[in-house]
Structure 1
């Protein structure tokens, strides 16, 4: 399962080997200064929209990879068992947002110092 962790002055989205293959991407590192907002999502899968480039997706079930829409580019890791998660809005990074399915989004956000 993907993890969001702090590493010095960076936020890191750590992916498992399978997630790296499904999302066609390695771990993502962004400066903490790029984080604009962290939001707890109660219906995380429906926050993933846009054209999948590259990655894996079954709409309404799972989404892993890069998703591009006219307004934003997001990187998502959402498994079918996760109904809830976090949206991390970014500025000045490769992605406009990270969307991550989590069992305990409030605890993760709090441990990162965002709540």
Structure 2
């Protein structure tokens, strides 16, 4: 299962070996300064926008890889029955957002917020 973590001033989506094969790419990351918003989504499949290209997916079961849409592209790793953390990123980067299903989305989102700034406000929102 994918993990969302903060390391070296970056927010990273770390994939398992099987997920890397299915997503047709390795881990992805963005600078913490690019983070505009972090939120938890109880319905991660409702967060998908556009079409999968490249990656793996089965509607309502798994979505893994790059989703391209009119405004750019997102990186997603979501699974049925698992809430996700949505990391909105500032314009201009490779991805517009990360949507990652995790075991404890509230704790994961709180950990990323804590790494952003002492007051928990994303740098892009200041």
Q: TM-score, normalised by structure 2?
A: 0.84
Counterparts of residues 74-89 of structure 1 (less than 5 Å): 74-82=74-82, 84-89=83-88
Shift of 1:102: 1.5
Q: What is the root-mean-square deviation in Å for CA atoms of aligned residues?
A: 1.4
Name the counterpart of 1:34: 34
Q: Which runs of 5+ in 2 are unaligned?
A: 121-126
The C-alpha deviation readout for 1:1-50, integer Å capped at 9, x for no partner, is 11111112111110000110111110112100011000110101221131
Counterparts of residues 16-27 of structure 1 (less than 5 Å): 16-27=16-27
Greater relative contact order (CA < 8 Å, ≥ 6 in sequence): 2
Report the count of equivalent residues: 114
Q: Which has the larger radius of gyration?
A: 2
Shift of 1:80: 2.4
Matched, 1:8 2:8: yes
Matched, 1:51 2:56: no
Matched, 1:62 2:62: yes
Paired with 1:2 and 1:17, the residues of 2 have a C-alpha distance of: 10
Paired with 1:98 and 1:29, the residues of 2 have a C-alpha distance of: 9
Structure with more of its chain in helix, by fraction: 2
SS in 2 for 1:66: strand
Name the counterpart of 1:110: 110
Instruction: Report if the CA contact (8 A) 1:46-1:60 is conserved.
Output: no
Q: TM-score, normalised by structure 1?
A: 0.91
Q: Which runs of 5+ in 1 are unaligned?
A: none
Shift of 1:81: 3.9
